[in-house]
Amino acid sequence: MLALIIISIIILMTMGHLLVRVDHVEKSDVIIVLSGFDGRLEHGINLFKEGYGDYLMLSNSDDFDEEVLQ
């Protein structure tokens, strides 16, 4: 029984890597920043400033400091 538990844990830990997908950043028409965790807005602004999008769309946009956009 212990061996089955250990094997199950090992399988589940290795399967987690199959669920992660890493895409390369490409130019887009719009960069959409969803509200939520810290750093999302700043990352979206950096992508916009680097030219990865023509427009920047924010969800829940009243939740930021305008100085961040400068």
Residue type, 23: D
Strands (E), the chain: 28-33, 53-58
Model-level pTM greater than 0.75?
A: no
pLDDT for 70 equals 61
Task: State how far the Cα of 45 lies from the Cα of 49, in Å rounded to an integer.
Answer: 6
Query: Could you tell me if 35 and 42 are in contact, meaning their C-beta atoms sit under 8 angstroms apart?
Result: no
Q: What confidence tens digit (pLDDT) does each residue in 9-45 have?
A: 888 888 877 887 888 889 999 999 988 778 888 899 9
Does the pLDDT of residue 54 top 70, yes or no? yes
